[in-house]
Amino acid sequence: MAVVGGVLVLAMAIACLRHYAQQVANGKLGLGPEGGAETHFDYQELCRQHMASKSSLCRQDCMGGVSSGIAGSAIGTGAGGRRGTDTSRVSSVSSQFSDGPQHSPSSTHSSTPSWSEEPAQSNMDISTGHMILAYMEDHLRNKDRLQKEWEALCSYQAEPSSVAVAQSPSNMDRNRHAESLPYDHSRVKLKAEVNPNKQDYINASIIFDHDPRQPAYIATQGPLPHTVADFWQ
């Protein structure tokens, strides 16, 4: 009888310990009697939202999309009143068992910037850098330099079309065709001191290639009988 009584006492002690351990676990998860079936439903819904948000984040990373704060939104969202308190306690405990990083609730309101945050790559060579530096230093020394450049820009003409020199009465007979005349700004100028008529005009124009300081070609008409000597200059 003593053995049977000891076994019964041991069985009751084990049952009490299990019941106490279950109550402690329920208290830690906020699933005690005060929560009831309503808290169980909130915990299950939270787990489903958490797993759905993790799978959605994985799909977005594979597709190269921007990072989303769905997980943080799911954890930070709770019911009002007592349900909100219970859900927040459940979320704080369940986050300890999560193996992935948690997103803060504020991440749902963050936006991806439209500009590049990486430093700009510059391939400027040394000579170009020195040229720009000298240009800026010259403008700092000459205070009215910028105003003069603006005035020159306003009066700039891309292609001046004046042919006044070629149309002058003293030069009209030196043109083979009256409709093909050189512009005043690009015409070839002869040495007037070596010409008998003391004129520097010839129906010819200089053509620039890539260097505006050095002419590359000369376009001209066929010489007339009285302009043959001009071509040898």
Q: Are residues 49 and 83 in the same domain?
A: yes
Q: Are residues 144 and 100 in the same domain?
A: no
Give CA–CA dist 146/150, Å, rounded. Answer: 6
Q: 71-101, pLDDT tens digit by residue? A: 444 444 444 444 444 555 545 544 544 444 4
Alpha helices in the chain (DSSP H): 2-28, 36-62, 70-76, 82-94, 126-141, 145-154, 228-231
Q: Are residues 83 and 132 in the same domain?
A: no
Print the domain residue range for 140.
128-157
Q: What is the DSSP letter of 73?
A: H
Report the pLDDT value the prediction gives residue 137, as an integer from 0 to 100: 87
79 occurs within a structural domain: yes
Q: Which tokens sit at 164?
A: 């006044």
186 occurs within a structural domain: yes
121 occurs within a structural domain: no
Q: Are residues 90 and 42 in the same domain?
A: yes
Report the pLDDT value the prediction gives residue 213, as an integer from 0 to 100: 81
62 occurs within a structural domain: yes
66 occurs within a structural domain: yes
DSSP string, 172-221: GGG-S-TT----TTTEEE--GGGSTT---EEEEEEEE-S-TTSEEEEEEP
The one-digit pLDDT tens for each residue of the chain (233 residues) are 677 777 777 888 888 888 777 776 666 555 555 545 555 666 677 777 777 776 666 666 656 554 444 444 444 444 444 444 455 554 554 454 444 444 444 444 445 555 555 555 567 788 888 888 888 888 888 888 888 889 988 887 777 788 999 999 988 999 998 889 999 988 999 888 887 778 899 999 999 888 878 888 999 988 888 888 888 87
Give CA–CA dist 207/216, Å, rounded. Answer: 6
Q: Are residues 90 and 55 in the same domain?
A: yes
Number of domains composing the chain:
3
Q: 153-174, pLDDT tens digit by residue? A: 888 777 778 899 999 998 899 9
17 occurs within a structural domain: no
88 occurs within a structural domain: yes
Q: Are residues 85 and 59 in the same domain?
A: yes
Q: Are residues 153 and 186 in the same domain?
A: no
Q: 115-127, pLDDT tens digit by residue? A: 555 555 567 788 8
13 occurs within a structural domain: no
